[in-house]
């Protein structure tokens, strides 16, 4: 787990400002910082995956008011890096929003980004003398550094509980059901109650030599979106997110390489008309450059008490 705070320097472009831990993968940091060149909208979340390193990033673009910046705003990007195969994206989004709220509690936090040789960017009309100005900047930098440290600590807090038992494959095949350990079932019920829902979305996937199951409480219908792209770019990821514009329930990864092309697959919650939503998403994605095909299916709701079976 690691975090990165980057900002857009009007003279040299996007730069890394604070990274925790400082020794985190330098190449990944540089590539993530460059995502700012695509100028994501303020308060926009976007995901990026570095499959060769087994790292995923959850990013948030932020604008803060600034008396010293061109256009009177500082452009920032805050990132949480994760090595988890399926990071808790919703949890990380809440944490990143918490960091953003901390920044907005201090109207002068922009000063922190003028530490060191960036003091020369400050307008000559600034009333503070150089010593007082440098002191004020250093104080704001210390506050900002503590916010980033808070973010790093928050991103590391969530430690999953696990429950297990052994059983025969034949028993599962005969019953077509798997038993829940009581503690796990109680936690699932509590999670559903906290979200005020009574249904769950379950997805099964084969990964290497094992089968994984993810169970996510939801009150909405679910669609599966699968697209094949000829070339994956940060801009395409951003446009895809804007077009879909639905709550993400699950994705096994941003892009899996297959025969020289990228296959992106994800499940989204739908609160409106499913058919109309599916058509809107399909038409929008199909019009994007580099998108070769789009496939959208509705996840069937089944009852485990019946003989129904999901595909």
The torsion angles phi and psi of 78, rounded to 5 degrees, stand at -115, 135
**For residues 131-135, average pLDDT:** 85
Q: Which residues contact 183 (CB under 8 A, 6 or more apart)?
A: 161, 163
Q: For 83-87, 205-209, 258-262, 271-275, which range has the lowest pLDDT when averaged over its residues?
A: 258-262
Q: For 12-16, 198-202, 232-236, which range has the lowest pLDDT when averaged over its residues?
A: 232-236
The per-residue pLDDT for 309 is 43
* Orientation of helix 274-286 relative to helix 234-244, angle to 10°: 160
Model pLDDT for residues 29-54, shown as the tens digit of each residue: 999 999 888 766 778 888 888 877 77
Domains of the chain: 2-157 (3.30.450), 195-298 (3.30.70.1150)
Q: Which helix (H) or strand (E) holds 286?
A: helix 274-286
Q: 305 pLDDT exceeds 90?
A: no
Q: What is the DSSP string of 168-194?
A: -HHHHHHHT--PPPHHHHHHHHHHHHH
Round to the nearest angstrom and report the end-to-end CA distance of the chain: 35
Q: 103 pLDDT exceeds 80?
A: yes
């Amino acid at each position: 787990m690691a975090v990165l705070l980057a900002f857009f320097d009007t003279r040299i472009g996007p730069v890394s400002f604070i990274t925790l831990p400082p020794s985190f993968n330098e190449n990944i940091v540089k590539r993530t910082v460059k995502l700012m060149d695509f100028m994501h909208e303020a308060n926009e979340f976007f995901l990026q995956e570095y499959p060769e390193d087994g790292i995923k990033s959850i990013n948030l673009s932020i604008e803060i008011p600034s008396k010293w910046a061109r256009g009177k705003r500082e452009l920032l990007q805050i990132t949480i890096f994760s090595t988890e195969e399926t990071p808790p994206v919703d949890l990380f989004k809440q944490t990143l929003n918490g960091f953003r709220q901390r920044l907005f509690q201090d109207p002068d936090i922009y000063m922190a980004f003028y530490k060191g040789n960036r003091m020369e960017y400050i307008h000559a009309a600034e009333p503070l003398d150089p010593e007082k100005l440098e002191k004020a900047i250093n104080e704001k930098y210390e506050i900002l550094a503590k916010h980033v440290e808070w973010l790093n600590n928050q991103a590391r807090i969530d430690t999953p509980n696990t429950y297990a038992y052994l059983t025969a494959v034949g028993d599962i095949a005969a019953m077509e059901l798997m038993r829940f350990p009581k503690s796990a079932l109680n936690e699932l019920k509590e999670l559903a109650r906290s979200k005020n829902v009574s249904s769950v979305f379950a997805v099964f996937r084969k990964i290497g030599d094992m089968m994984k199951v993810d169970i996510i409480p939801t009150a909405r219908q679910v669609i599966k979106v699968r697209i094949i792209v000829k070339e994956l770019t940060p801009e395409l990821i951003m446009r895809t997110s804007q077009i879909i514009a639905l709550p993400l329930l699950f994705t096994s990864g941003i892009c899996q390489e297959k025969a020289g092309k990228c296959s992106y697959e994800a499940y989204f919650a739908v609160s409106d008309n499913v058919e109309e939503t599916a058509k809107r998403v399909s038409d929008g994605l199909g019009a994007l450059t580099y998108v070769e095909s789009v496939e959208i299916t509705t996840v069937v709701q089944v009852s485990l008490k019946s003989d129904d079976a999901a595909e």
